[in-house]
Amino acid sequence: TSSTKSSYELVTLTTWLLKQEQAGVIDNEMTIVLASISTACKQIAALVLRAPISNLTGVQGAVNVQGEDQKKLDVISNEVFSNCLKSSGRTGVIASEEEDVPVAVEQSYSGNYIVVFDPLDGSSNIDAAVSTGSIFGIYAPNDECLADVEDNGTLDSVEQRCVVSVCQPGSNLLAAGYCMYSSSVIFVLTVGTGVYVFTLDPMYGEFVLTQEKVQIPKAGKIYAFNEGNYALWDDKLKQYMDSLKEPGDSGKPYSARYIGSLVGDFHRTLLYGGIYGYPRDKKSKNGKLRLLYECAPMSFIVEQAGGKGSDGHQRILDITPTEIHQRVPLYIGSVEEVEKVEKFLA
Ligand code: AHM
Ligand code: MG
């Protein structure tokens, strides 16, 4: 079909969203939330692009609630994301990897949707101009969950109410996506009807649809793990890793690729197949990545593309967080590759 398509016939993210709304896939509020997220991503893309010029590299000097150095751009991106979401007037609660607790949006601006996000993931790459990304997930308010707390009479603060409404399993996600700041700026989105990829056209500042209904290959010969932690891994995981290095029937072992930026490593895995892993180890017994902001949204996306997201034993989307910054081991990518590591870990 593309050969007969006029090159002027572009589908932008805006028109795509309006089509989804017309078809009843998403409601008007969701359209507005997603449009405001895409605006935030465009702003962050511009900041990342110019970071070395505008002196935005380096650390802020603060340490976030999880004990990590915040980069200047972590802090600014968080503000950009929060402000875009608040001013959309369609979000009720927002929770960010960079904030201690979820925030209730001021009533006069507030709407229904709950948005979780990591405004600038992989920011340790920023100073070397290597890929980074923003990750987000959108939930409906969890009334059932709130009612439970009200009945028990333990709902004593707005803050607690926010925590409860945010702590939902990934299987409740209505939408999830990420934006990758790389050689191209890529916005990947699912609203539960497959995975759509948009590329920012810098000539006129619009995201343009470049791939639809993406399917991840069933298997793939690329693995992305931080193998520097090998000595700290469980024996079963070491055996799995060793097995990838055995040349199989093809005479060729797997290839190693690791950017250290989940969005970048995930995007490659989505398109080429293979596996990304961040295991637990002797030092971090739940791994490094956050269930709410990183693992659940990526798992929703990968499942929508026919892949799999697991903690090594169970489906990521089935895990209900008990804390907002909860960490979980992650194995994500092609179905056969994730099942292979699960077998070794069983
Ligand atoms: P961040 O949210 O503090 O940026 O950390 C998350 C990042 C992921 O993007 C990446 O996959 C991982 O941390 C890399 O960790 P490591 O440097 O331990 O390999
Ligand atoms: Mg992160």
Probe residue for ligand 1, chosen from 121, 132, 290, 331 as the CB with the greatest number of ligand atoms within 8 Å? 121
Distance of CA 261 from the midpoint of ligand 1 (Å) = 6
Distance of CA 144 from the midpoint of ligand 1 (Å) = 34
d(CA 71, CA 62): 8
Question: Across the chain, what does the average pLDDT equal?
Answer: 91
Does the Cβ of 288 fall within 6 Å of ligand 1?
A: yes
Does the Cβ of 221 fall within 6 Å of ligand 1?
A: no
Coil, strand or helix: which one is 71? strand
Distance of CA 118 from the midpoint of ligand 1 (Å) = 11
For ligand 1, atom 12, which residue shows the shortest CA distance?
260
Does the Cβ of 132 fall within 6 Å of ligand 1?
A: no
Which ligand 1 atom is the nearest neighbour of the CA of 124? 4
> Would you give the DSSP letter of residue 289?
S
Distance of CA 290 from the midpoint of ligand 2 (Å) = 7
Does the Cβ of 215 fall within 6 Å of ligand 1?
A: no
Which ligand 1 atom is the nearest neighbour of the CA of 226? 19
- Per residue in 154-213, pLDDT (tens digit) is 555 777 778 888 999 999 999 999 999 999 999 999 999 999 999 999 999 999 999 999
pLDDT score, position 278:
98
Does the Cβ of 342 fall within 6 Å of ligand 1?
A: no
C-alpha pair distances (Å), 128 with each of 46, 174, 311:
16, 35, 31
d(CA 346, CA 343): 5
pLDDT score, position 71:
78
For ligand 1, atom 14, which residue shows the shortest CA distance?
260
Probe residue for ligand 1, chosen from 48, 78, 288 as the CB with the greatest number of ligand atoms within 8 Å? 288
Q: Which of 138-142, 254-258, 312-316 has the lowest mean pLDDT?
A: 138-142
pLDDT score, position 60:
72
pLDDT band at residue 1 using 50, 70 and 90 as cut-offs: very low
Note the ipTM here: 0.96
Residue type, 144: E
C-alpha pair distances (Å), 20 with each of 24, 85, 191, 193:
6, 20, 9, 10
Does the Cβ of 123 fall within 6 Å of ligand 1?
A: yes
Does the Cβ of 201 fall within 6 Å of ligand 1?
A: no
Does the Cβ of 38 fall within 6 Å of ligand 1?
A: no
For ligand 1, atom 11, which residue shows the shortest CA distance?
262
pLDDT score, position 250:
84
d(CA 215, CA 248): 25
Q: Is 322 exposed, middle or buried (0-12, 13-18, 19+ CB in 10 A)?
A: exposed
Is 27's pLDDT higher than 50? yes
Nearest Cα to 279, choosing from 243, 236, 315? Answer: 236
Is 302's pLDDT higher than 60? yes
Residue 118 makes CB contacts below 8 A (sequence gap 6+) with 96, 97, 98, 134, 135, 136, 290, 293, 294
Residue 289 makes CB contacts below 8 A (sequence gap 6+) with 262, 278, 295, 327, 328, 330
Is 111's pLDDT higher than 50? yes
